[in-house]
């Protein structure tokens, strides 16, 4: 394909995709606007080149271990409860906006759980909203040398980014001064040691906090929650089975780690939702050393892209790919090896996958324990994703009703 004047190669076969994603020395992080994103977010785990990635990943990865994720479940439940506590039966609202806000609040708390960060959390949340909204516009206009196009918005964005960096520095300083360890990602970063036994310097911690926030609070898992609610609204038979599972596993209790493991169908719904709507629909790489891919000689500097969306929607890989069918998951991951890649693959694979899947399952289960949600005008218009550098759920107006007060035959 061509992107402006640049040729870009799209790997479409699982074997080629594997070759690209699993060989990060040759296919390094890069591609359109990558350097601009890196300049804005700093050199952290998401943006850094392969040459330094191994060390950074080793330092950051422990924060995402399974046992640590379990420690965040109570926060996920509390944030879901705070959100649903404001719902009024029969009063419609934009689920996408609510879920995005709630997921961001979970991300901020998972990063800064300590009391000493209490008054920094709101400001972090506000800055992040501005940054996540503007980062790709800023990166692309800067890559095209066209920042004059959105001068006022660029100024607002830069102000938010500068303040955000200050806030993160203030929290790091407060944590260092207190010396106490907290059950959160920042404490993990501050106590992490590399192979030589050295900790990260403060600016390295800051850049990784900013990188992780960008990955963790991108609208992805909020979108997955919205799509899952939408798909269940459209598939009442599956929804009924999901509700039966939630009721039998949870009773009236909030989900905990063992319940999350037993919510098997709910998890299959989430995995199938991410097959249909992978937020990271395009992963970009830049060739670092001469290489041959599918018989083409690619010189250094060539852009190569992989599309999880394209992979997940190929009939040769997933039969009847447009059909929402959680039963595909009954015998494990469907499709050929390396075809299901909502979290990428290889050394840059998302380390937050367990966190994200746990959060989506917990929030869905908690919401559906007490509420049903029905989209307004559901039968008439199809719902299309918003496509930018991410694939996002569009604003989706749904009406909440307490379970047991169902008004229509099609709704569960």
Where along the sequence are the contacts to ligand HEM (CB under 6 A)? 45-46, 57, 212, 215-216, 220-221, 224, 278-280, 283, 342-344, 348, 350-352, 355-356
Minimum distance from residue 278 beta carbon to ligand HEM (Å): 6
The smaller minimum CB distance to ligand HEM, of residues 3 and 91, is found at 3
Cα R_g (the chain), whole angstroms: 22
Q: Least separation, in Å, of the C-beta of 55 and ligand HEM?
A: 11
Minimum CB separation of residue 292 from ligand HEM in Å reads: 22
Phi, psi of 311 (to 5 degrees): -60, -50
Coil vs helix vs strand at 407: coil
With beta carbons less than 8 A apart as the criterion, state whether 362 and 392 touch. no
Please report, for residues 91, 362, 365, the alpha-carbon distance to residue 95 in angstroms, rounded to integers and kept in the order given. Answer: 12, 16, 15
Whichever of 215 and 291 has its CB closer to ligand HEM, that residue is 215
Nearest residue (CB) to ligand HEM, 50 versus 374 = 50
d(CA 312, CA 28): 23
- The nearer residue to ligand HEM, 14 or 220, going by C-beta atoms, is 220
Q: List the structure tokens of 127.
A: 């800055």
Q: What angle do CA 299, 343, 189 make, to 5 degrees?
A: 95
φ/ψ of 268, rounded to 5, equals -65, -35
Q: How far is the CB of 209 from ligand HEM (least distance, A)?
A: 11
Gap between the Cα atoms of 37 and 376, Å rounded: 37
- Size of the chain in residues: 412
Nearer to ligand HEM, 14 or 400 (CB): 14
Q: How far is the CB of 377 from ligand HEM (least distance, A)?
A: 27
Residue nearest to ligand HEM (CB): 352
Closest separation in Å from C-beta 45 to ligand HEM: 5
């Amino acid at each position: 394909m061509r992107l402006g004047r640049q040729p870009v190669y799209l790997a479409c076969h699982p074997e080629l995709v594997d070759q690209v994603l699993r060989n990060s020395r040759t296919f390094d992080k890069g591609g359109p606007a990558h350097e601009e994103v890196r300049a804005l977010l700093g050199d952290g785990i998401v943006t850094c080149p392969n040459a330094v990635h191994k060390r950074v990943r080793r330092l950051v990865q422990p924060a995402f271990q399974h046992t640590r994720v379990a420690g965040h479940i109570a926060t996920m439940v509390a944030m879901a409860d705070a959100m649903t506590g404001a719902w009024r039966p029969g009063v419609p609202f934009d689920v996408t906006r609510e879920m995005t806000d709630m997921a961001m609040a979970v991300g901020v708390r998972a990063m800064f759980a300590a009391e000493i960060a209490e008054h920094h959390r709101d400001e972090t949340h506000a800055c992040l909203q501005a940054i996540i909204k503007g980062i790709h516009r800023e990166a692309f206009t800067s890559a095209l040398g066209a920042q004059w196009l959105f001068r006022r918005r660029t100024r607002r964005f830069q102000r938010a980014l500068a303040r955000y960096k200050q806030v993160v520095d203030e929290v790091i300083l407060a944590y260092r001064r207190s010396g106490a360890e907290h059950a959160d990602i920042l404490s993990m970063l501050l106590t992490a040691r590399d192979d030589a036994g050295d900790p990260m310097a403060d600016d390295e911690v800051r850049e990784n906090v900013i990188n992780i926030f960008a990955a963790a609070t991108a609208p992805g898992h909020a979108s997955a929650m919205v799509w899952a609610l939408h798909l269940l609204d459209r598939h009442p038979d599956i929804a009924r089975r999901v509700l039966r599972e939630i009721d039998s596993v949870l009773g009236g209790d909030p989900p905990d780690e063992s319940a999350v493991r037993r919510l098997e169908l709910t998890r299959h719904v989430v995995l199938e939702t991410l097959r249909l709507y992978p937020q990271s629909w395009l992963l970009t790489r830049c060739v670092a050393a001469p290489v041959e891919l599918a018989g083409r000689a690619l010189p250094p500097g060539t852009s190569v892209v992989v599309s999880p969306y394209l992979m997940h929607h190929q009939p040769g890989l997933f039969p009847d790919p447009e059909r929402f069918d959680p039963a595909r998951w009954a015998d494990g991951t469907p499709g050929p090896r390396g075809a299901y890649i909502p979290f990428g693959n290889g050394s840059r694979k998302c380390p937050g996958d367990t966190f994200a899947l746990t959060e989506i399952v917990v929030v869905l289960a908690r919401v559906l324990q007490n509420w049903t949600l029905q989209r307004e005008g559901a039968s008439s218009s199809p719902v299309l994703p918003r496509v930018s550098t991410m694939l996002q759920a569009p604003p989706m107006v749904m009406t909440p009703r307490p379970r047991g007060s169902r008004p229509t035959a099609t709704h569960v």
